[in-house]
A and B are shown apart, each in its own frame.
Chain A
Amino acid sequence: MSKQGYKTFKGGIHPPYNKELASGKAITQVPIPSELVIPLNQHIGAPNSPLVSPGERVTVGQKIGETDAFVSAPVHASVAGTVKAVEDIKNFTGQIVKSVIIEADPQQPAFEAKQTKPLAELSADEIRQIAREAGLTGMGGAAFPTHVKLTPPKDKPVDTVIINACECEPFLTCDHRLMLERPSDLVEGLKLFIKAVGAEKGIVGIEANKMDAVEKVRSAASAETTIEVEILDVKYPEGSEKQLISAVTGRKVPPGKLPSEVGCLVQNVGTAIALFEAASTGKPLYERVLTVTGQGIKEPSNFLVKVGTPISALIDAAGGLTGGPAKLIMGGPMTGWAQEEPTASVVKGTSGVLALPAELVDVREEHACVRCTKCVEACPMYLMPNYIVEAAQKEDWRKAELWGAVDCFECGCCSYTCPAYIPHVSYVRKAKAEIAAMKKR
Chain B
Amino acid sequence: MANSKFVATVSPHLHERGQTISRGMTDVLVALTPIAIWGIIVFGFNAFYVMAVSIITAMLSEVVMRWIMGRKATLVDMSAFLSGLFLALILPVTTPLWVVAIGAFLAVGVGKELFGGLGKNIFNPALFGRVALMISPLWLYTTKFVKPFYWKASGFFTPIHASINNAVAGRVTYKGITGKVYVDVVTHATPMSLLKSGRMLSATVTGPTPVGATYITGAGRPSFWSMFFGLKSGCIGEVSVFLLIIGACWLLYRKTIDWRIPAGVLGGALLIFLVTWNNPLYQMVGGGLWLGAFYMATDWVTSPMTRRTKWIYGIGIGVTVALIRLISPLPEGVAIAILNWNVITLLLDRYVAEPKFGEVKKPLFNKLPAIAKAPKPAQGKT
Contacts and interface: CB of A to CB of B under 8 A. Distances in A.
Most buried by B among A13, A370, A418, A429: A370
A399 interface: yes
Interface in A385-441: 386-387, 398-399, 401-402, 404, 407, 410-413, 415-421, 423, 425-426, 429, 436, 438-439, 441
B11 A425 contact: yes
Contacts of A415: 12, 15
B24 A372 contact: yes
A369 to B, nearest CB: 5
Given A342-B2, A360-B14, A370 B380 contact: no
Contacts of B120: 368
Interface residues of B, number: 55
B119 A335 contact: no
Secondary structure at the A interface, as helix, strand, loop or mixed, is loop
Interface string A298-340: 0000000000000010011000110011111101011111111
B6 A328 contact: yes
A333 B14 contact: yes
A328 B366 CA distance: 41
Interface stretch (B83-91, B182-190, B233-241, B300-308): B300-308
Contacts of B118: 367-368, 370
Nearest to A435: B369
A255 to B, nearest CB: 5
Nearest to B378: A256
Interface residues of A, number: 82
Contacts of A337: 11
Contacts of A401: 369
A87 interface: no
B258 A367 contact: no
A340 B19 CA distance: 26
A438 B372 contact: yes
B175 interface: no
Contacts, number: 182
B13 A418 contact: no
Given A257-B379, A258-B380, A419 B23 contact: yes
B204 interface: no
A439 to B, nearest CB: 7
Contacts of A381: 356-357
A425 B355 contact: no
A373 interface: yes
Contacts of B1: 320-321, 324
A387 B305 CA distance: 10
Nearest to B300: A372
A380 interface: yes
Nearest to A312: B2
Nearest to A375: B305
A420 B8 contact: no
Interface string A344-385: 000000000010100011110001111111101000111110
A372 B28 CA distance: 13
B11 A338 contact: yes
Nearest to B354: A382
A117 B358 CA distance: 41
Given A336-B13, A401-B369, A402-B369, A387 B8 contact: no
A342 B19 CA distance: 30
Given A242-B357, A254-B358, A361 B16 contact: no
B9 interface: yes
Contact of B14 (A324, A334, A368, A398): A334
A361 B7 contact: yes
A57 interface: no
B1 to A, nearest CB: 5
A416 B12 contact: yes
Contacts of A426: 10
B19 A417 contact: yes
B153 interface: no
B13 A371 contact: no
A124 interface: no
A371 B141 CA distance: 34
Contacts of A342: 2
Contacts of B2: 312, 315-316, 320-321, 342
Contacts of A371: 119, 300-303, 305
Contacts of A321: 1-2
A441 B7 contact: no
A438 B371 contact: yes
Given A342-B2, A419-B21, A426-B10, A376 B306 contact: yes
A170 interface: yes
Interface in A94-140: none
A341 interface: yes
B19 A255 contact: no
Interface in B169-223: none
Contacts of A182: none
Contacts of B23: 419
Interface string B293-336: 00000001111011000000000000000000000000000000
12 contacts: A15-B14, A254-B360, A257-B358, A257-B379, A257-B380, A336-B13, A361-B13, A362-B14, A370-B24, A387-B305, A387-B349, A419-B23
Cβ-closest 5 pairs across A and B: A412-B12, A368-B119, A256-B379, A252-B358, A426-B10
Given A376-B305, A398-B371, 16 more contacts: A15-B16, A16-B14, A255-B359, A320-B2, A324-B4, A336-B11, A338-B6, A338-B8, A338-B13, A383-B356, A384-B349, A407-B357, A410-B11, A421-B20, A423-B10, A425-B11
